[in-house]
Structure 1
Amino acid sequence: MKTFKIAALLATVALPGAAFATELEVTHWWTSGGESAAVAELAKAFDASGDKWVDGAIAGGGDTARPVMISRITGGDPMGATQFNHGQQALELVQAGLMLDLTDVAEANNWKGVINPPSLLDSCTVDGKVYCAPLNIHSPEWLWLNNKVYTDLGLAVPTNWNEFVATAPQVEAAGKIPLALGRQPWQSNLAFGALTIGVGGLDLWKSINIDKNMDAAAGPDMLKVFQAAADARKLAAKSTVQDWNQATNMVITGEAAGQIMGDWAQGEFQVAGKVAGTDYTCLPGMGLNAYISTGGDAFYFPKLADPEKEAAQKRLAALLVSPEVQVAFNLKKGSLPIRGDIDMSTANDCMKKGLEILAGGNIVPAGDQVWSPDVQTQLGDMQGQFWSTDMSPEDAQARYVEILKSGL
């Protein structure tokens, strides 16, 4: 990326501070190989613009990082910018007056006209004011497969979840783990979400999560989803790793046949030199119901007393949504851009699948956009218990309904 492009971009934002060179600490939870490569693109662009990115990576994933970030902001030690997921994770901080209003940046750069889908900007908007810069779209519900595991066994690479389950006995007989799964609650919660639409279908998901239909949540179609999750639990029984990227590495190396994980897994395959469509297969919607969940990441900017740092915050916000940064970051991250007006012709096979689905409009909001953080936390804890014990599908469904009702 050329410096003059960044400078020209920032010149379109009528903000104070011609001489930049302002340091901003940026906290996030991107620490895997693919994630680090993507973050490096953000830092490179910000540094090239004349300011300085001070990296504040927090290991352990979002569940570990968010409490640290929130504690710092509420405790009077705010960073310059911080990652949250699209949705309600930062709502209380905004309502408490702790986050910077970015409405002037959004208007100067026509975010309303370029951010797609509009729900991403809506998630950043509280009482008509914009408080975050959307960065990407991350769809969590993908099935990732190592092609060689199947070809070595003389099997066709599965094209959907049902075929994956059907081939699992042969995979296991060959000494492979059918399904890699990290031992963190959010990962099992993610797998369950993927199965909800893959097995249950979009209509069931929307009925429960959009219409808040608790009869559907307690019904027989949802029970089938829990039964499928019990099957998946059995397939992942010998997966003992902790972190999601460790589970992805099991698939990359052929120790495991597949993994249910978000499209950020692409970054790990890419760093390992693997080619989408050749070395590995990616199945959005588990190959059963192709769709994109419009979750992802956004950056919020805590209020700071220093006006120079506030100006730098607004420059960074504008930069994150810029066409050049959107292309560079998302190609490394494996996520989809939040702009529909940029050239993604160099995207790999998996990203192109996502872009086609997004263009077709087969999208749903992420869980963070339809349920409160408290409900999300309870669901994650319940899924962690379900996947690590012999809890019955029936008991898990009853607890699921109870948690959802608490959020109505």
Structure 2
Amino acid sequence: MRFSFSAAALAASTALLLAGPAIATDLEVTHWWTSGGEAAAVGELAKAFDATGNKWVDGAIAGSGGTARPIMISRITGGDPMGATQFNHGRQAEELVQAGMMRDLSDIAAKEGWADFIKPKSLLDSCTLDGKIYCVPVNIHSQQWLWLSNKAFEEAGVAVPKNWDEFVAAAPALEKAGKIPLALGQQPWQTTLVFQVLLVALAGPDAYQKTFGDKDAEFAAGPEIVRVFKAVDDARKMSAKSNVQDWNQATSQVINAQAGGQIMGDWAQGEFQVAGQTAGSDYTCLPGLGVNEVIQTGGDAFYFPKLSDPEKSKAQDVLASVMLSPETQVAFNLKKGSLPVRGDVNLDAANDCMRKGLAILAKGNVIPSPDQLMSADSLNQVNDLFVEFFSNPNLSADDAQKRFVDIVSSAD
């Protein structure tokens, strides 16, 4: 995939930014981007929207998406909608769309040709219900990464690992040097993330599709997933002394060489950048844990609740356009650590890790996110299982796998 500015797209977006709306309008935008790297990235969205003459009113909600989403949904269903709100790609806003509470963006999508430049196609498919488009995808975030502190391994006297097995083998040396082998926050989604990443890396993308996509309970009970649960048990032991809550706190442990590594999405790059660290020298990134190099086509999208004020509705249209402009896509994603949803933008400034992601994406080695395959209710059951697994050493890998099979068998 080649990333270069399209002259026509650049001209169109520049005209939009210069023209601006006839009446400046405040528009509240809710999201859960509150870490240092995330705040820097969301600032680029706000700056681009403010340049149109409107005003971005920041509605950041502290905590993870699991904390923020119920608040956002409650406001919309309770008659106090915001101008725009973040959700992840997939089925998280499905019920709100079905209830008629979200704006249909099909007309603006057709006018601006979103289908021509949003890549891969599955991103726009995730915004589509019954043939109508209801959201604006702004990035491609993949959770399939292992982030390693070069300094931690140097101080432990072992080489920086090239894959998951080498990382596990290095754990005793890290512990002897006073390091936490695997940094892991205690938010529910983080433990599930570890399982999902290990599943794809060790059993492969097809195994991931069979369990989360096809809901194949027989396969989930088989030997390939036994190996995955054994690896999750290793991860549990390696992270036993990681006593932080938020994902970015765990990333800080890697940045400060208190921990050897962290399994986390590419949004972790924003934290390394804010800390002034350089990919390839201060830290190492292993897509697919150095085993199965794939990119997950998850990420973030913005939905626009229906509003009674026609001027705010017009401002929603402007914001939707701004989020997908080439300039905004570059500025935002370089700071977020994610990949752009446009295939026609210039990313010469991409760092070593982002270039790895771009190369994998160009090869077409992609998988859908869990949110694109399972309902929120089913994924919550998976979350609950792995919260218990990581907090209760008496829950064996075998018993956890049996419970996972039960969840898969009844998942939708």
For normalisation by structure 2, the TM-score amounts to 0.95
Bigger Cα displacement from structure 2, 261-270 vs 152-161: 152-161
Give the aligned residue type for 2:405.
V
How far off its partner does 1:235 sit? 0.3
1:38 matched to 2:41? The reply is: yes
| Correspondence for 1:176 | 179
| Correspondence for 1:140 | 143
**How is 1:57-76 mapped onto 2 (pairs within 5 angstroms)?**
57-76=60-79
SS of alignment partner, residue 198 of structure 1: helix
Query: Is this contact kept in 2: 1:20–1:312, CA < 8 A?
Result: no
Of 320, 323, 348, 2:351 maps to 348
Query: Is this contact kept in 2: 1:82–1:300, CA < 8 A?
Result: yes
| Correspondence for 1:282 | 285
Query: Is this contact kept in 2: 1:7–1:49, CA < 8 A?
Result: no
2-side partners of 1:11 and 1:308: how far apart? 20
**How is 1:294-373 mapped onto 2 (pairs within 5 angstroms)?**
294-373=297-376
Structure 2: gaps (5+ residues): 1-8
SS of alignment partner, residue 334 of structure 2: helix
Of 198, 204, 213, 2:201 maps to 198
Query: Is this contact kept in 1: 2:13–2:326, CA < 8 A?
Result: no
Of 9, 12, 17, 2:13 maps to 9
Deviations 1:330-349 (A, max 9, x none): 00000010011111111000
2-side partners of 1:351 and 1:203: how far apart? 25
1-side partners of 2:296 and 2:147: how far apart? 17
Deviations 1:74-132 (A, max 9, x none): 00000000000000000000000000111111111110010000000000011111100
2-side partners of 1:192 and 1:103: how far apart? 36
Query: Is this contact kept in 1: 2:148–2:285, CA < 8 A?
Result: yes
Of 207, 216, 221, 2:219 maps to 216
1:25 matched to 2:22? The reply is: no
**How is 1:259-278 mapped onto 2 (pairs within 5 angstroms)?**
259-278=262-281
SS of alignment partner, residue 317 of structure 2: helix
How far off its partner does 1:11 sit? 4.7
* Aligned residues between the structures: 402
Deviations 1:258-277 (A, max 9, x none): 00000000000000000000
2-side partners of 1:244 and 1:64: how far apart? 14
Query: Is this contact kept in 2: 1:141–1:194, CA < 8 A?
Result: yes
How far off its partner does 1:302 sit? 0.3
Bigger Cα displacement from structure 2, 285-294 vs 147-156: 147-156
Query: Is this contact kept in 2: 1:46–1:52, CA < 8 A?
Result: yes
Deviations 1:295-348 (A, max 9, x none): 000000000001110010011011111111000000000001001111111100
How far off its partner does 1:154 sit? 3.0
Deviations 1:331-383 (A, max 9, x none): 00000100111111110000000010001000000000000010111111111
| Correspondence for 2:105 | 102
Give the aligned residue type for 2:151.
K
Q: Percent identity?
A: 64
SS of alignment partner, residue 126 of structure 2: helix
| Correspondence for 1:292 | 295
How far off its partner does 1:20 sit? 3.6
1-side partners of 2:210 and 2:67: how far apart? 31
2-side partners of 1:120 and 1:89: how far apart? 14
1-side partners of 2:22 and 2:14: how far apart? 12
| Correspondence for 1:395 | 399
For normalisation by structure 1, the TM-score amounts to 0.96
| Correspondence for 1:128 | 131
2-side partners of 1:10 and 1:75: how far apart? 37
| Correspondence for 1:245 | 248
| Superposition CA RMSD, Å | 1.6
| Correspondence for 1:164 | 167
How far off its partner does 1:214 sit? 1.7
Query: Is this contact kept in 1: 2:213–2:374, CA < 8 A?
Result: no
SS of alignment partner, residue 86 of structure 2: strand
1-side partners of 2:16 and 2:223: how far apart? 55
How far off its partner does 1:21 sit? 1.0
1-side partners of 2:336 and 2:118: how far apart? 18
Query: Is this contact kept in 2: 1:10–1:318, CA < 8 A?
Result: no
SS of alignment partner, residue 196 of structure 1: helix
Give the aligned residue type for 2:319.
L
